[in-house]
A = this chain, B = another copy of it.
Amino acid sequence: MSIRSLITAKSELTHSTKAAVPVVLSTRIRLARNLKAIFPGRAEVAQREAILSQCQEVVGGLPEMKGGASISLGESDEIDQQALVERHLVSPELLASPEGAGVVISKNQACSIMINEEDHLRIQMVKTGFHFKKVWKAIDTVDTEIEKQVDYAFSPDWGYLTACPTNLGTGMRASVMMHLPGLVIAEQMEKVVKAVNQLGLAVRGLFGEGSDASGSIFQISNQQTLGESEEDIIKRLTGVLNTVIEQEQNARQKLLEDDRMSFLDKIGRAYGILTHSYYTHSGEAMNFLSLMRLAVDLGILPEDYRAVVDRLFIECQPAHIQLMTEGAEDPKARDAARAVMLRDHFGDATLNFDAVA
């Protein structure tokens, strides 16, 4: 499968209609793994290429990867690479050193394995909704299968060895993509970020930085990888995330109680612009989509639109727009194509504000 067919294929995050839930967009785990060989950052090109070729064979042969794609970054277009970043299938870091770097992606794009990023292998598993147990089970299976065929760099004292000490031990980063418009509108996000940080977790905006993230989408993940088992990390993270979900729901409730009309005004205006503009910037689209997801959560838009929003969060990004409209390289042409796309998807919707009367 080519990169261009990846972006139009049905994938876990763009077409998982039933799994979408309020507040949590997706659950993701990645494992950092290395072979007993020099780390990618210090390796010669020939060494990197040898590792790439070895890993592509092993990883590409996994049952999970059947029908998927194996991409050598050195051979792909910049715009295609950018689309992979927008799908979170590769990291920007992988693109920075494309020689001898690659990625293997499963058919439904739930599993992607980067080769020769900071570590030899970065295994990632993602699922729509809030599902740490399922994701952990799936990634653990893949990891075990790979370990049967390669010799991981592992120390009985330290655990999995990684290029950066912050990943040492489990090599695991577990995260959830959260949609927190209530906390953002109520201006409580800064406080939440601070509290979450103090519990040893990291918060970052998906389409921006810190508490000003456009789209009100935040990734919350563990920072610690050492001295705690994978299950304990997930358990602790889940506890905190449940609290954040509760705070978000409370914030929405309070906004509705205190100033229902201002809240509805925001949603109404976003819908009005979304369905009547002819140029829509990427950041603006994220904010409007965010408010449409909120509208679904509140029953103002029909449930079906939740999956539409989640798909458009991905497909409204610049490289996706450019690829889907065949060469809209000019930012204005992309803004125009994005506006058409949004109008097409939301033009026929009816807002039912009585749902929150």
Question: Most chain-B CB neighbours within 10 Å: which of A269, A276, A277?
Answer: A276
Point out the residue from B262, B272, B273 that lies within 8 Å of A279, measured CB to CB.
B262
| Main SS at interface, chain A | helix
Residue-wise interface mask of A (244-270) relative to B, using a CB-CB cutoff of 8 A (1 in contact, 0 not): 000000000000000001101100110
Cβ contacts under 8 Å, A351 to chain B: 276
A271 at the interface (CB under 8 A from B): yes
Interface residue count for A (Cβ, 8 Å)?
A: 19
Interface positions, chain A 95-119, Cβ under 8 Å from B, are none
Residue-wise interface mask of A (329-350) relative to B, using a CB-CB cutoff of 8 A (1 in contact, 0 not): 0001000100100000000000
**CB proximity of A355 to chain B, nearest CB, Å:** 15
A225 at the interface (CB under 8 A from B): no
In Å, the complex CA distance between A273 and B261 comes to 15
Interface positions, chain A 273-331, Cβ under 8 Å from B, are 273-279
Residue of B nearest to A343 (CB): B268
In Å, the complex CA distance between A266 and B274 comes to 13
Point out the residue from B264, B273, B332 that lies within 8 Å of A272, measured CB to CB.
B273
Cβ contacts under 8 Å, A271 to chain B: 272, 276
Residue of B nearest to A276 (CB): B272
Point out the residue from B265, B277, B279 that lies within 8 Å of A277, measured CB to CB.
B265
**CB proximity of A35 to chain B, nearest CB, Å:** 53
Q: Measuring CB to CB, which residues of chain A are less than 8 angstroms from any residue of chain B?
A: 261-262, 264-265, 268-269, 271-279, 332, 336, 339, 351
What are 6 A-to-B residue pairs whose CB atoms are below 8 Å?
Answer: A268-B276, A268-B277, A272-B273, A272-B274, A272-B275, A272-B276
